[in-house]
Amino acid sequence: MSISANVRSVDRLARLREALARFGVDAQAALAAADQAVCRAEQQLEERLDYWRQMVHRRQEEVAQARAALSHARALHDGQSVGCVEQELELRRAQLRLREAEDKVTITRRWLLQWPVLVKELEAPARSLSGFVEADLRQGVVLLDNKVAALQAYQQVAVPELKEPTS
């Protein structure tokens, strides 16, 4: 009957411990990167809103200029639309560009209003993973450290030779 344990690969346990420790570092880095990405995305949405508001103002001026050009062309033709096709088309294009900018402002505002809800949906799993990495994974690494040390110490113990009983 054998009284020794069958320990064959303490090195594999040590490698597992190293892999878990690397995972913890990588997971924390990924969480930090995700947090930064969320902040950058919100900042970009705010910048886009400012941009589209400026575009609305510019395009309102373009519409006003196109209306003035159309009015001037009509005045040259005694109030008739004949010969004003180019100015009418330019006014329509300016109005379409203005409508596009106004739509972009509306869409961007909607995203900014939804943003906190979307971030909240991300925060719960991120907090859970962070808690796992901070507590559970660290405990697991410490437990593996202790087990590896105990197994290595056990391997160093010399097995006493058993003598056959003489009769």
Instruction: Determine the pLDDT at residue 138.
Output: 86
State the number of CA atoms in the 13 A half-sphere of 126 facing the CB: 16
Closest to 91 in 3D by CA, of 71, 114, 113: 71
Give 93-119 pLDDT, tens digit per residue: 999 999 999 999 999 999 999 999 999
Q: Where are the domains of the chain?
A: 10-150
Question: pTM for the complete prediction?
Answer: 0.67
Q: Domain 10-150 classified CATH 1.10.287?
A: yes
End-to-end distance of the chain based on CA atoms, in angstroms?
A: 20
The letter for the amino acid at 125 is P
What residues of the chain score a pLDDT lower than 70?
1-7, 79-82, 158-160, 162-163, 165-167
